Each structure stands twice: as C-alpha cells, then as structure tokens.
Amino acid sequence: MRLLSVFQNQVLIAALIAWGIAQVVKLPVEFATKRVWNWSLLLRAGGMPSSHAALVTAAAHGIGLTLGFNSGLYALAVVLAMIVIYDATGIRRQAGRHAEIINTMIQDLVEGHPLHQEQLMEVLGHSPFQALVGMLLGLVVAQIMMG
C-alpha cells in the first residue's frame, strides 16, 4: 500500500528523529541550568537545542544525501530551512522578549498581588547558538541515517 510507504521515507524519519532528540535533550539541559524538571518542554517551542533547526536541517541534509546536493529539491529544502531558522532566531525570539517585558510590567503594577490571568509565553524563539546546535543535531542524525 502506497500510504504505508511513508514509514520507509528515510528523510522524513531522520527529520522526525532529530526533532524528537532535540525535544528530549531540552529536559536535562533545563535541569542543569535551573535544577527543575520541566516536562512541558517536551511539547513547547523554544529552549536548547532548537528542534525546529534540527528538523529542517535533517530534512535538507537527508534530501541532499539522497537526491544530490545539486538537485532543485535540495535547494528548496535549504531555502525553507533558512526561513524557519531565521524565524526561530529572529521574529519568535523578539516576541518572547516582548512577552518578558510585558510580564515584568504587570508584576511591577501589581506589586506582589497575584493576577488572575495567565502570563504570556516568554520562550518562543531561539538564540543563534540554540539554532546552531539544532542544525548540527539535524546534520548528524541525517548523516547517520543515510550516510
């Protein structure tokens, strides 16, 4: 059956494995810095390493290894990876900084009285280093899977 052939797509499998590893690695990295197990990191954006960068880098590298680094599909995958990584390190990171500032302002206004509203998400994007580590993870996983 053609639908089941998706489970044989090594590029997709490598990309998903790289994404999964990045999500799981966030737990001990967070624990090492804050001494708290934050299980919500398994399903959240942001943090170290960037699972977005790992996912798109593994997919692009896998396409290059499978179809050739001179193929049009590889070029498209690299361009899309660049857009995703730029968004993760630029736009979403700035949105996270704005959320942090707004949350601080609310805290100052309330002067210790708890708000009944949920705080804004502060960890939306990635630092360039987090994106770089995610990219390296994606390259390594795709190379192991298809190299």
Nearest Cα to Cα of residue 73 among 82, 84, 83, 62: 62
Task: Locate 49 and state its tokens.
Answer: 């390493």
At 83, which amino acid appears?
Answer: I
126 close to 53: Cβ distance less than 8 angstroms: yes
145 close to 13: Cβ distance less than 8 angstroms: yes
Q: Give residue-wise pLDDT tens across range 29-41.
A: 989 999 989 888 8
Nearest Cα to Cα of residue 60 among 52, 51, 69, 48: 69
What are the backbone dihedrals phi and psi of residue 36, each rounded to the nearest 5 degrees, phi first? -140, 135
The DSSP annotation for 32-79 comes to HHHSS--GGGGG-S-SSS-HHHHHHHHHHHHHHHHH-TTSHHHHHHHH
What integer pLDDT is reported at residue 61 of this predicted model?
A: 96
Q: Give residue-wise pLDDT tens across range 111-141.
A: 675 554 555 555 566 778 888 888 888 888 8
pTM score above 0.85: no
Q: Give residue-wise pLDDT tens across range 51-106.
A: 999 999 999 999 999 999 999 999 999 999 999 988 877 776 677 777 777 777 77
